[in-house]
Amino acid sequence: MRRITIIIALVFSITAGGKLCAQVSMSGVTVIGNKIGFSSNTSKEIKQIFRGKYANWSTNSQVIIVLPASKSVSAEVVATSIYGNTVSGVQKYWLSLVFQGRANPPVFLDTDEEIITYVKKTPGAIGVVSVGAQNIPRNMVIGINN
Partner 1 sequence: MAGFFQKISFRIWLPFALTLSLMMLVVAFYYPREQEKLFRANKERELKELAKTVALGVELSLRADDFQGLKKTIDFVSGTSDFEFVAIIVEDSVTAKENVFISYPEKPQDEILNLNPDLYVYQKYPFRTADFVGNILISASKEKINELVFNLNKPVYIILPIILVVSLLLFFILARRISRPILQLTKTAKELEAENYAVVIPVTQQKDELGELSNAFASLRDSLVDQKERNMQLTLGLEDEIKLRTEDLQSTQQKLIEAQKVARIGHYEYFFSDGHWESSDVLDDIFGIEKNFKKDLNSWNGIVAPDYQVEMMSYFIDLVTNKKKFSRDYKIKRINDGEFRWVYGLGEFKYSESGIPYSLSGTIQDITDRKLIEEEVKRLSLVARHTSNCVIIADGQKKIQWVNDSLIQLTGYSFNEIVGQTPRMFQFEKTDPKTLAYISERLDDNLSVNTEILNRGKTGNEYWLELNIVPITDAHGGLSGYIAVETDITARKMADEELRKSQEALKKINETLEQKVLENTKKNLDLSKSIVEQEKLATIGEISAGIAHDLNTPLGAIKVGTESVHFTFEALLANNISKCSDAQLKRAIEIAKSRTVEIYVGGLQLMRERKETIAYLQATYGSERENLAQIAEMMVKCRILVQDTQIMDEVYKWDNPLDVLELINNIQIIGNLLDTIKTSVDKASKVVKDVRSFIKTETTVDRTRVNLHDNISTVLSIFNYELKRNINLVFAVDQNICIEGYDIKLFQLWSNLIKNAIESMEDYPNKNISVRSVLYDGKVDILVENTGPVIGPEIIEKIFKKFFTTKQGKNGTGLGLSIVKNVVDEHGAKIAVTSSEEVTTFKVTFNDPILLS
* Whether 24 contacts 144, CB under 8 Å: yes
Q: How far is the CB of 15 from partner 1 (least distance, A)?
A: 33
Q: How far is the CB of 67 from partner 1 (least distance, A)?
A: 8
Q: How far is the CB of 95 from partner 1 (least distance, A)?
A: 6
Q: In terms of CB distance, is 3 or 53 closer to partner 1? A: 53
* Whether 5 contacts 136, CB under 8 Å: yes
Q: In terms of CB distance, is 62 or 135 closer to partner 1? A: 62
User: For binding to partner 1 (CB under 8 A), which residues are involved?
Assistant: 67, 69-70, 88, 91-92, 94-96, 98-101, 104-108
Residue-wise over 35-66: b if at least 16 C-beta within 10 A, else e? ebeebbbebeebbebbbbebeebeeebebbbb
Q: In terms of CB distance, is 67 or 136 closer to partner 1? A: 67
Query: What count of residues does the chain have?
Result: 146
